[in-house]
Amino acid sequence: MFHYLSSRSVDSAGHSHPGPEKMTTLAMLTITADDGTRGYAFGPPEVIRPTVIEAFVRKVLVGQDPFDRERLWQDLVHWQRGSAGQLTDRALAVVEQALWDLAGRALKIPVYKLLGAYRDKVPAYGSTMCGDDLPGGLATPDDYARFAVTLVQRGYKAIKLHTWMPPVSFAPDPAMDIKACAAVREAVGPDIDLMLDGYHWYSRTDALTIGRALEKLNFAWFEEMMNEQSIASYTWLAKQLDIPIVGPESISGKHHSRADWAVAGACDILRAGVPGVGGITPTMKVAALADAFGMNCEVHGNGAANLAVTAAIKNCRWYERGLLHPFLDYDVVPGYLHALPDPMSADGFVQLSQQPGLGEDINFDYIAAHTVTNY
Amino acid sequence: MFHYLSSRSVDSAGHSHPGPEKMTTLAMLTITADDGTRGYAFGPPEVIRPTVIEAFVRKVLVGQDPFDRERLWQDLVHWQRGSAGQLTDRALAVVEQALWDLAGRALKIPVYKLLGAYRDKVPAYGSTMCGDDLPGGLATPDDYARFAVTLVQRGYKAIKLHTWMPPVSFAPDPAMDIKACAAVREAVGPDIDLMLDGYHWYSRTDALTIGRALEKLNFAWFEEMMNEQSIASYTWLAKQLDIPIVGPESISGKHHSRADWAVAGACDILRAGVPGVGGITPTMKVAALADAFGMNCEVHGNGAANLAVTAAIKNCRWYERGLLHPFLDYDVVPGYLHALPDPMSADGFVQLSQQPGLGEDINFDYIAAHTVTNY
């Protein structure tokens, strides 16, 4: 567990916003093979806690072949049931990521090539932070429009808006969301792909209203506008709308729940991210499931592991780069890395690192100097 | 393309039977990387023909990174559409297998570990040849019973019967199939798992009759008893029978058609083999699809590539070892190999080779000495 400087703060509902620069805590999991090869993965300290490592991860991993990823993952999944919620999918994902990183480092090959690459660079969409009430931030439709123009100037060929959520005083408001989307479309013109990921608990009827507006604005997809626990609601909406519905992102159930969504026609494009479904391999399984159904699987979230998956599969259009905000510079390298894992060129492509493993160029000296606790 | 000695012959319907020892032709595809690393895969000469290599495979592969498996595979799949049936899934599979073999050899690791191993050994079922009319062969229910006892003595914990098909004079005959199954159950007792893969074109009603008999005999699954082109027939049967229906094996459509079967409830256990669905990766995709649906995926067929998949996934119960016949010794190593890719211990487990790549211990001298044509 170590500290690094960050200018992000989290609001009372868990959404990231810009904030004063301050020391933030991150955990780095290290898995060491008998020959000394190591694999690394980062995660929130509250996810990859020492008690979780002790109670489950050590028990499953120590003494085993780190290349037995499927068996080790399945063993951890079995432990999940009796873990009283402690061994989360996110914790599982950190462990599995470290195993992949170890494999890549041991074999001296990037993980996306280990997976069997589909491409060496992936187009990125700029994914904004949620709306706020900061003057000049993301407080108005015009703020989104201005920010979108700067994102296009930076090279993005697609932008996804996260709009306003509580505790922002005026959220949720379908009309405001539509105004922000309209303002961005007006500002960037017809050739930039746009997506909306707004308030997550709209009613069916509000969701339909927003969806129809997005169709007129030629948006590329509409994401998590209702509680994802209700497959029926998504099936109801997807049947009526032409605009692709993307999901699910937040529900549990790994690849199994995604199969239920595909069968129900609850979405047009499946969604899975490495932390959310418990690792790189289960994300690949969701992508395979989607592929079997003739569907895309848009990978949720940024970072080296999600990037590796997007480069290994065909049926994902974009890498999600963000979260972005006018007050923050995403291209600043955090202290614990020597370089961004997802540098983007001026034409909007993220090039995959050719470093062995996940491609995170870790600044071990920085981490050693800023370590809070070793475990 | 080279010759090797084989004692198998093929009948007028394409089924293997014992025959006089004679020279048989096999093709070995070699893919060479820039650094000289090579990957190998074997296939029937009629599948991996020089014209197919020239028209499609060279065009897609030459000059490319052999680790870009997903892209190269997708490019070949695109070529399939305009290939007038020449670039078959089986040809695709040979190419993709060679890419995996190359990757494993380059990284000095077995392919099943590259995939992320689930286990190092897999229980095998003995898969018999189709019935025949050879005295002392597989001509009567008693023949099957006697042979089953020798298979159990050899170590098999499970046996799959392929029963009689035309051109055998008395086939098909549901009553004979049931008699053979009953004789085998009687001979091996209650503790051996038994499966039936008989005539592939029974009517729905004959299939139901046989299925009910297999339920009474406590068979573990019932396979391809009707034309697999009709999903509706399989859904009809699966709804009524308790005995698991396994399929589809023979239809085209790779992982996509398997999704349709899963949605339709046309089977209880999915089925895919490396040659049938166009490679190791698409077989892994079917396994992931099955996993997402809470289903097993029983891998079809023997050989190093299918074995690697069975060792990499959890949701496959058995490795299919065969085809077996009283007149043949499966444990004899063919001339073009130094060792079997699937040696089985006396307790019925096939241990995975720790050689880099697919684990085929190729006798290059033998192949050089028996080469018919080089291409």
Strand order of the β-sheet with B38-43 is B2-10, B16-32, B38-43
Percentages helix, strand, coil for chain B, rounded to the nearest 5?
Answer: 40, 20, 40
Q: Which positions in chain A have a beta carbon within 8 angstroms of at least one beta carbon in chain B?
A: 65, 67-71, 73-74, 103, 107-109, 113-119, 255-256, 258-259, 262-263, 281, 284-286, 288-289, 291-294, 312-314
pLDDT tens-digit series, residues B236-246: 999 999 999 99
The two tokens of residue A223 are 């994401």
Q: Mutation test of the interface with chain A: which of B71, B77, B108, B255, choosing the one with the most A Cβ atoms within 10 A?
A: B71
**Amino acid B52: pLDDT:** 94
Chain B positions touching A75 (Cβ under 8 A) are none
Chain B positions touching A116 (Cβ under 8 A) are 67-70, 73, 103, 281
> Number of A:B CB contacts under 8 A?
107
Of A69, A108, A117, the CB nearest to B70: A117
**Amino acid A84: pLDDT:** 86
Identity of the amino acid at B105 = R
Rg (CA), chain B: 20
Query: Which of B299-312 are b and which e, b meaning 16 or more Cβ less than 10 Å from the residue's Cβ?
Result: bbbbbbbbbbbbbb
Identity of the amino acid at A126 = G
Angle at B167 between CA B163 and CA B173, to 5 degrees: 45
Sign of CA dihedral B200, B202, B208, B213: negative
pLDDT tens-digit series, residues A196-221: 999 999 999 999 999 999 999 999 99
Q: What ipTM describes this predicted complex?
A: 0.89
A-chain residue closest to B116, CA distance = A69
Q: Mutation test of the interface with chain B: which of A108, A118, A256, A283, choosing the one with the most B Cβ atoms within 10 A?
A: A118
The span from the CA of A127 to the CA of A156, in Å, is: 10
Query: pLDDT 10s per residue in chain B (375 long)?
Result: 898 888 888 888 888 899 998 989 999 999 999 999 999 999 999 999 999 999 999 999 999 999 999 999 999 999 999 888 899 999 999 999 999 999 999 999 999 999 999 999 999 999 999 999 999 999 999 999 999 999 999 999 999 999 999 999 999 999 999 999 999 999 999 999 999 999 999 999 999 999 999 999 999 999 999 999 999 999 999 999 999 999 999 999 999 999 999 999 999 999 999 999 999 999 999 999 999 999 999 999 999 999 999 999 999 999 999 999 999 999 999 999 999 999 999 999 999 999 999 999 999 999 999 999 887
Of A256, A258, A288, the CB nearest to B294: A256
Chain B positions touching A251 (Cβ under 8 A) are none
> Does the beta-carbon distance from B70 to A109 stay under 8 Å?
no
- Closest CA–CA distance from residue A338 to any residue of chain B (Å): 27
- Residue B262: other Cβ atoms inside 10 A: 24
The span from the CA of A285 to the CA of A291, in Å, is: 10
CA dist B117 → A65, A72, B308 (Å): 9, 9, 9
- Residue B342: other Cβ atoms inside 10 A: 23
B-chain residue closest to A263, CA distance = B263
- Residue A340: other Cβ atoms inside 10 A: 19
Of A68, A116, A262, the CB nearest to B67: A116
Q: Which residues contact B369 (CB under 8 A, 6 or more apart)?
A: none
**Amino acid A222: pLDDT:** 98
The span from the CA of B69 to the CA of B65, in Å, is: 8
Percentages helix, strand, coil for chain A, rounded to the nearest 5?
Answer: 40, 20, 40
Q: Are A58 and A79 in contact (CB under 8 A)?
A: no
CA dist B354 → A106, A109, A205, B39, B304 (Å): 16, 20, 59, 16, 12
CA dist A17 → A130, A148, B73 (Å): 7, 17, 42
Does residue A93 have a pLDDT over 90?
yes
pLDDT tens-digit series, residues B95-125: 999 999 999 999 999 999 999 999 999 999 9
The two tokens of residue B55 are 């028209």
Which region among A12-16, A358-362, B325-329 has the lowest average model confidence (pLDDT)?
A12-16
- Closest CA–CA distance from residue A117 to any residue of chain B (Å): 4
Q: H helices within chain B, ranges in order?
A: 50-52, 58-61, 69-81, 89-107, 111-114, 141-154, 174-188, 204-216, 231-240, 254-264, 274-277, 280-292, 304-312, 364-369
> Does the beta-carbon distance from B292 to A286 stay under 8 Å?
yes
Which region among A30-39, A79-88, B85-94, B331-340 has the lowest average model confidence (pLDDT)?
A79-88
pLDDT tens-digit series, residues B297-344: 999 999 999 999 999 999 999 999 999 999 999 999 999 999 999 999
Sign of CA dihedral B138, B141, B145, B146: negative
The two tokens of residue B63 are 């000059």
Q: Which positions in chain B have a beta carbon within 8 angstroms of at least one beta carbon in chain A?
A: 65, 67-71, 73-74, 103, 107-109, 113-119, 255-256, 258-259, 262-263, 281, 284-286, 288-289, 291-294, 312-314
> Does the beta-carbon distance from B70 to A113 stay under 8 Å?
no
